[in-house]
Amino acid sequence: MDIHMKLMKYKFVPTWWFVFILVSNISLVLFTCQYYNESLQLPWWGVLVACAIAFFFILPIGIIAATINQAPGLNIFTEYVIGYLCPELLVANMCFQVYGYIIMTQGLTFVSDFKIGHYMKIPPQSMFMPQVVGTLVAVLVCTIIAWWLMERFPIFVIPHCCHLTVHGLARWTACSSMCWSYGGSLDPVEYSEPKVNTVMSIGSFLVEQWHPS
| Residue 69 C-beta-side C-alpha neighbours within 13 Å | 0
Report pLDDT digits (tens) over 135-171: 899 989 988 988 887 777 766 555 544 444 445 455 5
Q: Give the helix ranges, DSSP H, for 9-102.
A: 15-35, 37-40, 44-68, 75-85, 90-97
pLDDT of residue 89 exceeding 90, the answer is: no
How far apart (Å, rounded) are the C-alpha atoms in residues 13 and 36? 34
For residue 154, what is the DSSP state? G
pTM listed for this prediction: 0.70
Of 182, 162, 184, give the one whose Cα is nearest residue 173: 162
User: Residue 56: what residue type?
Assistant: F
The confidence band for 184, taking pLDDT boundaries of 50, 70 and 90, is very low
Report domain extents, the chain. Answer: 3-151, 153-213
How far apart (Å, rounded) are the C-alpha atoms in residues 191 and 189? 6
Distance of CA 154 to the CA centre of its chain: 25
Report pLDDT digits (tens) over 26-80: 999 999 888 888 878 888 898 999 999 999 998 999 888 888 888 888 877 888 8
